[in-house]
Structure 1
Amino acid sequence: MNYVEILENQIVSMWEGFIAILPNLAIALLVMFVTWLVAKFAVRIVDRLAGKSTMREDLRQLLETVVRLAIWLAGIMLALIIAIPGFTPTGLIAGLGIGALAIGFAFQDIFENFLAGVLIMLREKMRIGDLIEVEGVLGKVEKITLRETYVRQLSNELTIMPNSMLFKNAVKILTDDTVRRNEVIVGVAYDTDLELAQKTIEEAMGTVDAIVKDRPVVVYAQEFGGSSIDFLVQWYAQSASRDLRQTKSEAIKAIKKALDAKGIDIPFPIQTNYFPEPLRIEQVAGAAAD
């Protein structure tokens, strides 16, 4: 057998087949270009329509993604039918069915995060701009995609979290309501008039502008501490308009100023020396010699 001649015939046949499908490939590329244009304009139309409504930002992003994905799937399917003779959607579905198990294991995390992203966008809570805390991460939600969520921490660091983590774990939404309760522990000396101390703290909290005036300020004598009697002070402040740490700082300064004006002491904790006196070098040397 003339193997060289057989190889030449195969190469010529493949080249002729490639030349024959060039018009189909050109049409398929044109279909892909048209698909890109249609998807681009469709997303703009959806964004314009959604902008006129009261739709949440995350739902608007989900709608844009679904529209873009549907158009691209239709365009790719049409391009494959044109470029590959004998290709049918039924054949593609059958081929996917054969390898569905392998694909499922390979892309399990991607599918899980994708589904979690859709469910997060559909639920009412946790919108873009909310301050959340989950798995030790505290920050502001900047962006929600179908796979991950962008959280800007209070230290200005950006944390990209998989959607499955937000969906499976408890998420604390700190800005779900317009006001949030905060608290601080204030200790006074044992010889203090507790009624006077309580009244002084209440009056001091009334001078803090950031506190919501229509919510009660709670001042309770809570427990006997090691060196003081501790008061629990609780109040409500705006959760979105300002940093709660700033409000707490203003409250502490107001309480300290008021207690000083009344001559009420805030004692230091009693320190206990739990460590023995250190050994001298002579003692260590003697112990080693023994």
Structure 2
Amino acid sequence: MMATIDNQLNGMWYGFTEAIPSLMIAFLIILITGLIAGFAVKIVDRLSGKTELRPSLRALLETLVKLGVWLLGVFIAAIVVFPDLTPGSLIAGLGVGALAIGFAFQDIFENFLAGVLIMLREKMRIGDVIVCEGIEGAVEHITLRETHLRRASGELTVVPNAFLFKNPVEIITDASQRRHDLVIGVSYDTDLDKAAEVIRKAVKSVDAVDTGKDIDVFATEFNSSSVDFLVRWWAGSSAGAAATSKDQIMRAIKRALDDAGIEIPFPYITHTFKEAVPLDK
């Protein structure tokens, strides 16, 4: 019994010592692969920097080149360690292994594929402000697994790519300008035509407004204490531009209505009683 164990241990040790040169060569191949992968990424980055490729596509291209170099390096190292291993058997083994891993890490591969498709998609560029199922922020970074969104308040939201790929995404800054709106109320005794003209002139006077596009002033509702106007204009699409134009327009409208003697009412409450209310003298 002991002799059998000794023979097995000696055989294992002998096999290990014989494999040491192959393992050292394989380790050297892995090191060289890492150097080549880094060098290849730098070359791709330099070449793609001279083109008009989007940053997301450049990142995808660099990742694919790096992945391809590493697969080739590991493939060569495996053949060095296992001389009987043929390319066909290795590919077949990788196929079976990939199938098993795919079932085990389905969510990871789903996000990976979604990341590739998002990077290939023309829309949703780095720097765009997007809204998806209540999540809003500027696209700061896109990886193969997740997208980083920076909120206006500074927080970073890490969103799985599959979530962005499956759900509708509203791209706020897809165009340089977008339409903004504001509701303003005037008192019931106001001449609505006059009020609309005063509001329209006030909006046109704001520098942030694109006067080449329509400025709409619509009477929309008989509210409890006012007649409400919906005011719409075109200005910059970014969050800062939207806040700036709205601030300037509110100030301009308030100033213009005050100058025209038009009241912006606050809510009035009228109490009606069935019988006279006695008043103590």
Q: TM-score, structure 1 length as denominator? A: 0.89
| 3-state secondary structure, aligned to 2:164 | helix
User: Bigger CA drift: 213-222 or 20-29?
Assistant: 213-222
Q: Name the CA distance, whole Å, in 2 between partners of 1:51 and 1:241.
A: 29
Corresponding residue SS for 1:183: strand
Structure 1 distance, partners of 2:10, 2:116, is 51
Q: CA deviation at 1:270?
A: 4.3
Note if contact 2:45-2:58 (Cα within 8 Å) is conserved in structure 1.
yes
* Residue 96 of structure 1, CA deviation: 4.2
Structure 2 Cα separation of the partners of residues 271 and 22 of structure 1: 92
Q: Does 1:13 align with 2:1?
A: no
**1:203-218 paired onto structure 2 within 5 Å:** 203-218=201-216
Aligned to 1:168: 166
Kept after mapping to 1: 8 A contact 2:146/2:159? yes
TM-fit CA distance, 1:98: 4.3
**Equivalence for 1:108:** 106
Deviations 1:173-207 (A, max 9, x none): 11111111000001000001111111111111122
In the TM superposition, what are the counterparts of 1:234-253 in structure 2 within 5 Å?
234-240=232-238, 242-253=240-251
User: For 1:156 and 1:32, how far apart are their aligned partners in 2?
Assistant: 41
Q: Residue 61 of structure 2 corresponds to which residue in structure 1?
A: 63
Q: CA deviation at 1:10?
A: 1.1
Q: Give, in angstroms, the shift of residue 263 of structure 1.
A: 1.7
Q: Percent identity?
A: 55
User: For the Cα contact (< 8 Å) 2:41–2:66, is it kept in 1?
Assistant: yes
In 1: Cα distance, 2:99 partner to 2:25 partner: 34
2:277: which partner in 1?
none
1:181-220 equivalences under 5 Å are 181-220=179-218
Tell me the CA shift for residue 223 of structure 1.
1.5
Structure 1 residue aligned with 2:279: none
* 1:231 alignment partner in structure 2: 229
Q: Deviations over 1:58-117 (max 9, x none)?
A: 000000001000000000011111112422333333334545553222111111111111
CA 1:112–1:240: 2 relative to 1, 3 Å: same
Relative to structure 1, is the Cα distance of residues 121 and 98 closer, same or farther in structure 2, using a 3 angstrom cutoff? Answer: closer
Aligned residues: 271
Does the Cα contact within 8 Å between 2:235 and 2:241 map onto a contact in 1?
no
My pick for the range that moved more, 232-241 or 91-100, is: 91-100
- Aligned to 2:113, the other structure's residue is in SS state helix
Distance 2:107 2:269 in 1: 52
Q: Contact 2:219–2:229 at 8 Å: present in 1 too?
A: yes
Runs of 4+ in 1 over 6 A off after TM superposition: none
CA distance in 2 between counterparts of 1:107 and 1:271 reads 63
TM-score after normalising by structure 2: 0.92
Measured after TM superposition, the shift of residue 118 of structure 1 is: 1.1
Structure 1 residue runs without a partner (length 5+): 274-290
Contact kept in structure 1, 2:128 and 2:174, CA below 8 Å: yes
Letter in 2 for 1:20: E
Give the gaps of 5 or more residues in structure 2: 272-281
Match of 2:80 in 1: 82
Structure 1 residue 24, shift from structure 2 partner: 0.3
Match of 1:222 among 210, 220, 223: 220
For residues 229-268 of structure 1, what are the alpha-carbon distances to aligned partners after superposition, in whole Å with 9 as ceiling and x for unaligned? 0001000001249431221111111111111122211112
1:204–1:136 distance in 2 versus 1, CA, 3 Å:
same
Give CA deviations for 1:33-64 in whole Å, capped at 9, x if unaligned: 11111111111010000001111100000000
Q: CA RMSD in A?
A: 1.7
Equivalence for 1:286: none
